[in-house]
Structure 1
Amino acid sequence: MTKAAPAMHVAVNTSRRTNKSGVEVEYRSVLLRRSFREDGKVKHETLANLSALPAPAIDTLKASLAGKTMVEAGVALQITRSLPHGHIEAVYAMARGLGFEAMVGPACRERDLVMALLAARICAPSSKLATLSWFADSTLGADLGPVSTDDLYRAMDWLGTRQAQIEKALVLTYLRPEANPEKLALFDLSSSWVTGTHNPLAAHGYSRDKKRGVERIEYGMLATRAGIPVAVRVLPGNTADPTAFIAIAKEIQALAGVEDMVMVGDRGMITSARIQDLKNTALGWVSALRNTAIQALAEDQGPLQMSLFDQQNLAEISHPDYPGERLIACYNPALASLRKRKREELLDVTEERLKTIQKAVTAGRLKDAGKTGLRVGKTLGKNNMAKHFTLTITDTTLAWERNPETIAREADLDGIYVIRTSVNEDTMGAAETVRVYKSLANVEKIFKTLKSRDLHIRPIYHHTEERTRAHVFLCMLAGHLTWHLRQALTPLTFTDEDRPVPEEPVASVHRSTAAARKASTRTLDDGTPARSYQALLRHLGTRTRNTMKMTGTTGTFELLAAPTETQHQALNLIHDHATNHRK
């Protein structure tokens, strides 16, 4: 084997001595040395004394020994290619700062491709085939070398085998008692449509995307109270919400290693039947009552009366139908006004639709009472308005009138909602319980990020169960990094930095004066432009990595464009966020 050449370097030594006249003089020597190892020790050999050389010559020699390309003065430079790099640099800086890249897996080709897929999902979400083209038009193409679709699929398969390990690491990081003293875990379910006809997970079910006539999959997201996704489960498209909740509830204890975790889910997720199942576990829960249950509490001088809210906007009540549970009733006047306006609009719209059917009956185009009833039923069911109308239908007539009793009964509960929980008051007070339930909005933000705002999880093109799960998991990991990026870059965006802590539990929180000023002037306090998160990501992408060439030569070298003030601030914010988060 060829012996490696000894490393050479320029050593600058400075010392102070007193001359014969008693004056202290600084002596400076510049030596060219080589380093070598002998008997296990590093030694240095002086090859030349460069002290007599001018400073520019010494600097040139030092740069050359450091591996830098020197350009002769007067030689013209050409930029042969410029590739977007700043947004990719931001994603990798966050991932490495958080220790996220190491958590994904050991260094290997598959991990490199998974990290590239995550960067692509955050910066330019698209299909895997389109992602390959994006690689070629960014610095990732040059860094990764040749990549095929088969390479990407192998990387996804590798990621799928590591999902359990990665999720356990995330749960231990974010839901362990030290990081999550409240022991809270948020869970919600969503769905996305699937292309093709061979995906075994695809099925017709309730469409949260309002896209009818297509098959879909469902996925349940587990998150921290702040809305950081830490685990995901993919289920067939026809799975009921409560079934999905129980499936993940059984896994959360094993993942977190915490017996007394508190699960938070909406009223459609944690139903009365699921609560009975949860009572057989050590899991606590926070949910809410359905409207029919709230009406039952208000009837016959029940515990829920408007007088509760004369002096405050929330109050704890109890009822024998809910043994061992706490009920916190809340009243929000703004919500009451919204519901009243919405109900009046729906009543008017429903009547207009009924008038259209009535004209068809009067004109003789609709002659059968049964067929008329079907059309009327479909119309009333569209907005759940059947309870508010009394109908008279014959073969030749259609008449209706509003039901003032049901409308008044519903109006009496406008703005009222009831939180139910198994957690005792010493652990979680009434106001905090309401805040915890309202934090489910953070999971909704995850789904918004996944579906349309940032990551575009849908439509799903994969046709196998394993790769469908890997695709959703990849999007969840991208959502995890996106959460951190959004938090870090908050000072440069329109996000409100001055929200009250803790927030008022019931009333709506309004934007602070500083946030309103940012939105109206579209500038930050220092006068630089304020941007949305996506606009800021695009701005970061304008920092290019340039391939340079000297005129008359064939060699090239790369030069990264100097960052703008905003780009410099963004990288500093990402570094600070990652550093603080790891402490």
Structure 2
Amino acid sequence: MFIRPCYRRKDGRRHAYWALVESYRSERGPRQRTVAYLGQLDEAGRLGVKRAAKGNKKPGEQQLQLWEGDSPAPEWVEVDTTSVRVENQLAFGGPWLALEMIRKLRLDNFLKRTIPKGKEDIPWSLMAQVLVVCRLCNPSSELHIAEHYYRSTAMNELLGVPPEKVYDERLYRALDALLPHKEELEKHLKHRLGELFGLKYDLLLYDVTSTYFEGEARGNPLAQRGYSRDKRSDCKQVCIGLVVSQCGMPLGYEVFEGNRTDVTTVEEIVETMERRYGKADRIWVGDRGMMSKKNIEFLKSGNRRYIIGASKASLKQFEQQLLADDWRQIRKGLEVKLCQSPEGDEEVYILCRSSDRREKEEAMHRRFEQRIEQELQKIEASCQRRKWKKEVIDRRIGSVMAKNSRAAGLFEVDVQEATDGRATISWEKKDAWRDWAKLSEGCYLLRSNVKDWSSEELWKAYIQLTEAEAAFRIHKSDLKIRPIWHQREDRVLAHILVCFLAYVLWKTLHQIVQAAGLGDEPRRVLDELSKINMVDVVLPTRCGVEIRRRCITQPTDHQAILLQRMGLHLPRRKKD
């Protein structure tokens, strides 16, 4: 370090001010940066600063540290306490915590090593980190990041990227630079997460969701209309298939056309994961939307093991087992039993009966029954008031049944045409349907070719699918993956990749929080530590000089406990 005079003309005279400057090496060669502006120093002040910057040259002794540890004898000044102020408050805790997760995952080194260098002013590896950190801490558009959020944070100090260098076009180009390395990223993260947390990938959970577009997305072949989990059938969408481990740690994902059904994606995702990570002795777990005869044959053909939800209609084959009393209770309100396959092959079926699910289905059937009955009564009254054709009434009844299909099988409706051409309607309720509904309410069926596990173990493995569902919920609520505003296919894929990387940071924080005994809500920890700020403290002195120090706010007792339990340490002061 050294001090440098800075000159300014004021009132026709030339005034000298002093700045403390540090030399450092960067990827673009030697650089210098200002550590602090010192104002107008007298001779004693200049000597004191020079001594601290120069360090102790005695053999075997380390250089004196300006900010921490031993320091030269202080130069005391008188401060005007009535004019002390704080300026330039910047969000520090959230971005700092996100970057700590990136360093734990060695993602910064991977990006620096993998993304090729060019003539860019700011390395794409740094801009990619900006995108991921912002997606975790304050998910928003690239334009909002450039014009608002980045400037309000301490990422300039943490990453060394000035705010004026962060603009929307550079962020878009960073997306383009990041996307080609998706597969390498997934491999790196899978290996590193396994090292950090001792993860096992012998049980893989697979689920599919959709996310919709704002705009026409013309020219993007992935953007199609299909079944929308977001209740936005008016918008085009893409489907995302996600594979996670038993604890919900993401292993990889693929993006499909918006009109793809879940069942058509299974073969592609299984082969992709096997090509990427090898064909090991894994168990694939999926819900009943993944089940088809073709998929079962595909899984069996490669000696793959699976646990898949069976269709509701398959319960009919196990009516006698439902009536039997040999259920095994594995927890309060939940019973299971193993059943042999009706075909007598190598599969087993697991019957599950949940009291909570029974109450829910009973309420649904009751609600839909009431709706159908009310609508039929309205149609009957309309037929008495007005002469309707039989074809019109048939269509109205069909529409009512389609909207209330959960209880449509209960009603047998008869529409006749009277001698005067007037349609008449009558209906009755089928006792057989009601008896079956009462027997099967709360029951569901699983099928598997894992025959060396108990019914409880198979059920527990299947219920881990809630981890995949939770991953989608976090993507949509906390990371704001929807709606997608990008229109180009490559930008859409890059946007989803950034959301995936932010979710990996989320789950990394989740694992650390759990291991520290701090509960199961990483969002609360992130929100609490995000309250830590970086500020400039300005101290006006008697001699007219203002001393400006950039500091990190002191953590509260709660924040200090969180940091201590997680093994993290805030820097004492900002280090340039």
Instruction: Check conservation: 1:93, 1:575, Cα contact below 8 A.
Output: no
C-alpha distance after superposition, 1:234-288 (max 9, x if no partner) = 1110011111121110011122224322111101113232111112223211112
How many residue pairs are counted as aligned between the two chains? 490
Of 529, 535, 538 in structure 2, the residue corresponding to residue 549 of structure 1 is 538
C-alpha distance after superposition, 1:473-524 (max 9, x if no partner) = 111111121123234345999956xxxxxxxxxxxxxxxxxxxxxxxxxxxx
Distance 1:403 1:46 in 2: 91
C-alpha distance after superposition, 1:54-112 (max 9, x if no partner) = xxxx99995369xxx97734255432211111122222222222334334453872222
Which runs of structure 2 are paired with 1:458-497 in the superposition (5 Å)? 458-489=482-513, 495=519
Give the deviation of 1:344 after TM superposition: 1.3
Distance 2:242 2:199 in 1: 17
Other-structure match for 1:184: 203
Deviates more, 1:381-390 or 1:212-221: 381-390
Other-structure match for 1:98: 105
Other-structure match for 2:338: 316
Other-structure match for 2:119: none
Cα distance change, pair 180–157 in 1 and its aligned pair in 2 (3 A): same
Other-structure match for 1:74: 79
Give the deviation of 1:309 after TM superposition: 1.9
TM-score of the superposed pair, with normalisation by structure 1: 0.76
Give the deviation of 1:226 after TM superposition: 0.8
Distance 1:202 1:273 in 2: 26
Distance 1:377 1:167 in 2: 49
Any unmatched runs of 5+ in structure 2? 3-20, 24-53, 116-121, 417-421, 570-576
Distance 2:260 2:215 in 1: 20
Distance 1:405 1:537 in 2: 55
Other-structure match for 2:254: 233
Cα distance change, pair 397–287 in 1 and its aligned pair in 2 (3 A): same
Other-structure match for 2:283: 262
Cα distance change, pair 430–565 in 1 and its aligned pair in 2 (3 A): same
Distance 2:254 2:562 in 1: 33
- Matched AA of 1:144: V
TM-score of the superposed pair, with normalisation by structure 2: 0.77
Distance 1:405 1:435 in 2: 33
Give the deviation of 1:163 after TM superposition: 0.5
| Residue 325 (structure 2) pairs with residue 307 (structure 1) | yes
SS at match of 1:279: helix
Distance 1:126 1:59 in 2: 36
Instruction: Check conservation: 2:291, 2:310, Cα contact below 8 A.
Output: no
| Residue 232 (structure 2) pairs with residue 211 (structure 1) | yes
Distance 2:69 2:312 in 1: 79
Other-structure match for 1:196: 215
| Residue 438 (structure 2) pairs with residue 411 (structure 1) | yes
Distance 2:523 2:91 in 1: 15
Other-structure match for 1:422: 449
Distance 1:231 1:5 in 2: 43
Other-structure match for 1:456: 480
Cα distance change, pair 200–46 in 1 and its aligned pair in 2 (3 A): closer
Other-structure match for 1:559: 551
Identity of aligned residues (%): 24
Distance 2:513 2:75 in 1: 37
Other-structure match for 2:463: 438
SS at match of 2:139: coil
Any unmatched runs of 5+ in structure 1? 7-31, 37-42, 51-57, 497-531, 578-583
Other-structure match for 1:518: none
Of 530, 540, 555 in structure 1, the residue corresponding to residue 529 of structure 2 is 540
Instruction: Check conservation: 2:305, 2:450, Cα contact below 8 A.
Output: yes
Which runs of structure 2 are paired with 1:112-123 in the superposition (5 Å)? 112-123=126-137
Cα distance change, pair 105–420 in 1 and its aligned pair in 2 (3 A): farther
SS at match of 2:223: coil
- Matched AA of 1:112: L
Other-structure match for 2:298: 277
Instruction: Check conservation: 1:259, 1:282, Cα contact below 8 A.
Output: no
C-alpha distance after superposition, 1:133-192 (max 9, x if no partner) = 11112222564212111111111112211100011123344579x945571111100001
Instruction: Check conservation: 2:322, 2:439, Cα contact below 8 A.
Output: no
Cα distance change, pair 399–486 in 1 and its aligned pair in 2 (3 A): farther
Other-structure match for 1:9: none
Of 349, 360, 363 in structure 2, the residue corresponding to residue 327 of structure 1 is 349
SS at match of 1:222: strand
Other-structure match for 1:63: 71
